[in-house]
Amino acid sequence: MQVLAVHPEVVVAKSVKWQTTCTVVHHGDESFVIDSPLYPEELESLPSLLQQMGWGLSGLLSTHADFDHLLGRLAFPNASLGVSETTAARLKAEMGDAARRLRDFDVDDYVQRLRPLQLGDVQALPVPGRLDIGPSALELVPSEGHTHDGMAIWVPWANVLIPGDYLSPVELPWLQEQGSRTAYLATLGRLKPYVEQADWVVSGHGGPIDAARALAIMREDVAYLQALGDGDAAGRAALPLARRDRRMREVHAHNVARVAAHEGAR
Ligand SMILES: [Zn+2]
């Protein structure tokens, strides 16, 4: 796992698996751990990372309810977990799903864990909204489209945006089962003013990138999603150069099916 400080109070840990990011934000005498790495050794190193920094944990946050972003509880079993109201509703509707998906992941990858994932109670945060941290506050921005739940997190004193699975340098815009192309485009529009003033954008997958690169990715993603509305061939032609390998073409095929089911054949 790579660990990188993008600001004296913002540290990013990047999992070996899917380049999934976990961001620790500190201010005053409070710290939040946002999202999570995947592997047990990576999770186990988080408490000592905080200890090294001299930061006490205030709570966990997750950008959305996909299982790979919910594993913080495995590292900090007693911490509270804050999520958007939409994510809290999804977790309730899909009770046990994240734990099941993690079990499948572990079986596929021969991963052994000491305990199963138990989310228990989560704290539903109003989004859009603000979450106090020390003398400042994190800004919570609704982010739907990849899934039908979630929030992006803006760290105003550090100019860092943690958008969840949007603006990834390694993953194509991915419309999951409940995802929506039009909602995705709306989220990108909502995130744009934050990206424009960001020093760093830390997507759910891939390392921290600067605003220029994030805006370039945003342009590619808008072009791809607009083309996707015109069908498979148009979408394939608009696949970003750096994100058109075998795996991303599979994601594209999935997106085509999603748009056909959601918006009807064109
Ligand atoms: Zn993800």
Residue among 184, 226, 220, 218 nearest 198 (CA): 218
Judging by beta carbons within 10 Å of its beta carbon (0-12, 13-18, 19+), is residue 202 exposed, middle or buried? buried
Distance (Å) from CA 260 to ligand 1 centroid: 23
Distance (Å) from CA 21 to ligand 1 centroid: 9
Mean pLDDT of 124-129: 97
Give dist(CA 189, CA 208) in Å, integer. 20
Distance (Å) from CA 35 to ligand 1 centroid: 9
Contacts of 232 (CB under 8 A, 6+ apart): 252, 253, 256
Residues with CB under 5 A from ligand 1 (ion): 66, 68, 165, 204
pTM score, two decimals? Answer: 0.95
Domains parsed from the chain with CATH numbers = 2-263 (3.60.15.10)
Q: At what angle do helices 181-196 and 211-228 cross, to 10 degrees?
A: 160
Distance (Å) from CA 69 to ligand 1 centroid: 6
Hey, what are 266's tokens? 């064109």
Query: How confident is the model at residue 120, as a pLDDT?
Result: 80
Distance (Å) from CA 135 to ligand 1 centroid: 30
Percent of the chain at pLDDT > 70 equals: 99
pLDDT digit string (tens) for 204-224? 999 899 999 999 999 999 999
